[in-house]
Amino acid sequence: MTRPAALGKHLARLWGLVLLAGVVSLAWQLRDGLPSDTRLTALLPQDRQNPLLERADARLGRAFEDRFVLLLDAPALPRATADLAERLSAADGGRLLTRLDWRDVDFADSDPAAVLGPYRYRLLTPSLRQAIEQDGGTSLVQPALARLFSPGGDPEPVADPFGLLDRWLAQQDDSPVSSWQGLLTVRDRDGTRRSLLIGRLADTPYAPSAQQALTRALRAFEAAHPDARLLHSGLIFHAAGGARQARHEITTIGLGAFLALIVILLAVFRSPRTLLALLLPLAGGLLVATPLTLALFGRLHLLTLAFGASLIGVAIDYALHLQCERAVQGRRFHLRPLLPGLALGLVSSLAAYLALALAPMPGLRQMALFAAAGLAGAWLTGVLWLPRLALPVHPATARIAARWWSLTTPRRTLAPGWLAVAALILLGVTAGRLTADDSLRLLNPSSSARLAEERRVQSLLGRDTGSRYFLVTADDEPALLERLAELGQRLDTASADGLTIGYRNLADHVPPPRIQDANLAAVRRLYGEPLATLVERAGLPGSVIAKARATLDSVPRLDVATWLDAPAGTADRRLWLGPVTADDGTTRLAATLVLNGVDSAAEGRRLAALADARPDVCYVDRVARLSRLLGELRRHVSLWVGLALALLTAGLVLRYRRQAWRVVTPALGALLGTLAVYAVAGVPLNVFSQLGMLLVLGIGLDAGIFSAEHARRPATWLAVSLSTLTSVLAFGLLAFSATPALHYLGLTCLIGLTLVGLLVPWVRPAPPRIKERPHGEPCPAR
């Protein structure tokens, strides 16, 4: 045995041990099932420039992440609501929820007066303050007298004869939720009463078990109550829909590409045994990519699997070149002449895939690693194993290669000058009409109906998930509350001037010390002559006056920690960020003021202007900010596409010299053609369509390299055609995905790879005229 043959044999055995280790590792990693991830937010870039914004976003989102809301409309509402609550509580053996609120007693927490009683004299509503400022509080005597003698009242003649705390608490409760027949209910705009159920999940909303358990419980309820109508809100419903969609698309895309591949390969090679051998590189790639990705990332994103399904069209390229050459060359087949083209093809494809790793997105980095490792594993499997397998060769393969060559070989190739003119025309069309879209909806697989239902529920509940807010910082708590209060006053002024928004402000519930001190001074004034008048008219003993005034001697200030620990302050916990470290290393305090009802860009600009007018106040539009980050990423990918093409072209010039234009034209022409189609059709460019262009670049260069390396071989042209066709099937099927990100990536690949296949015959080196040869007769030597 010669030294190269012996070395190849040892390398093949060593690679077999590597794949065996991959099998063992994958079996161990999958012992408890596939650790998958359905979060599309994993694809978002990390904003490293402002960690405080990330913290604020996470805090605002966390308040809703593990909760869901159901609004039920049914003929027998109390009975149907009780049945739904019972089914939800029993879901997954009672393990689905940690809490379910649906009865009025579920919100009957401890009396807020027990916690806030000591602070009542520092808490006044604006109307009470105004009344005291106008007449000293005389106008408050009659309402207080009526309250003292109200049959349903609970008067406190000494602690709070004017009912200050009750009036303050009543103003804080602006919830549309009311009690009806023991249920929590809300009213629709048309007067429809709906019962409200709020569930808190025991597990993450991305957990498949939680999604399945909740889905089963709701389907069973709807089957038992066909007249009931449910409105859903919550991250778990979006996550469950995204997971179902991803699993469906994995099945359809992967299975569709696989079946199409089998039909094509059987038609060309006429051998199931050969077909199985051609799939070995795919298996080898998956055995390398899957355990390595799980080892480095811990979980496998379902979009990575969907994207990995498209590796079918690429991983098999190497096997196709080997088998097509073997089928035509017969016993004269040798691997060595193919190695330069195979190696260059791998390098160009890896360059395109690894470009994804430069994106500041964990999900895209995972996809890049999975694709690159899969391609490398497929290449090594094909090169080290396939030449050693004794595979049958059907005469039809050589006839197909020769016939396909004669049918698709143009009489003459395109001149570089004409190609340059066409490129200029395409550039002109693209530059004049191409637009871009960096909308965050590209990452949202939820249907428009689901999003509309979510907005309707949020509108009925009168709340916002925190997509727009003010981020406020200060050196200490009094300064922070003062800044929040001043911002609230500015918003009230803007609202009076036509700005139709709402907001939730921590300073409305914990007034700044300055306001608390002013409130206490106003109460002392109220407890002068007005209190004496009230006691006299009520017929109370005179000692009540002294006792009531004595309660004002030492009144503590309400601070943020006390309010947030109180049941009434639960909803404000998401607004408080607490101590944060500034860029200069100092510690400051931060809080958010959440806005709702911001519906137009003009309103957003007015709010941004309010923030610009004050130091340490920042207006944040989470959707707009993330869209800007996607735009920055799109521009970054654009630069990388150009840089990658320039560097690869420079490297190809070193090998192919004056013929290098023939290698790069399929890829470059496909990219320009795709951009022109987008421009003419009015399809905006986005980051995912540009990521698809990276794949077109890699596959287009791969086709150009093989055509230049073996320009006169029908076997090579058959392999290039088959690999391009299978790639079009695999990547092009993504164009039918309902996930916008995958749709645009697939649409780009569908157009671009089709153009690659059409361009290759027109730019490859012109071979001598050939005629169809019978099976077994070799192609002319290169």
State pLDDT tens for residues 564-600.
988 778 888 889 998 988 666 778 899 999 988 787 8
pLDDT number for residue 7: 77
Continuous H helices in 497-542: 513-526, 529-538
* N residues, the chain: 782
What does pTM read for this prediction?
0.75
Cα gap 386→476, rounded to integer Å: 71
Output the CA–CA distances (angstroms, integers) from residue 309 to 278, 302, 366, 452, in the order listed: 16, 11, 14, 32
Q: Which long-range contacts (CB under 8 A, 24 or more apart) does 420-426 make?
A: 422/669, 423/668, 423/669, 423/672, 426/672, 426/673, 426/675, 426/676
Beta strands in 59-127 (DSSP E): 67-73, 97-101
Annotate 330-352 with DSSP letters as a single string.
GGG--SGGGHHHHHHHHHHHHHH
At residue 2, the pLDDT reads 55
Q: Considering only CA atoms, which of 156, 144, 133 is closest in space to residue 536? A: 144
Q: Please, which residues have CB within 8 angstroms of residue 447's CB and are 6 or more apart in sequence?
A: 241, 738
Helix 280-297 and helix 317-329, axial crossing angle in degrees, nearest 10:
160
Report the run of H or E that residue 593 belongs to, with start and end.
Answer: strand 587-596
For 271-419, strand residue ranges (E) read: 300-301
Alpha-carbon distance of 242 to 559, in angstroms, equals 42
| Helical axes 235-269 vs 714-732, angle rounded to 10° | 160
Quick: pLDDT tens for 293-325: 899 888 887 667 766 655 655 677 788 888 888
Query: Residue 258 and residue 538: Cα distance in Å, rounded?
Result: 88
For residue 360, what pLDDT is reported? 65
Query: Which distant-in-sequence residues (6+ apart) come within 8 Å of 459 by Cβ?
Result: none
Q: What is the pLDDT of residue 771?
A: 44
Residues of the chain with pLDDT under 50: 48, 768-782
Write down the pLDDT at residue 679. Answer: 94
Specify the pLDDT at position 17: 93
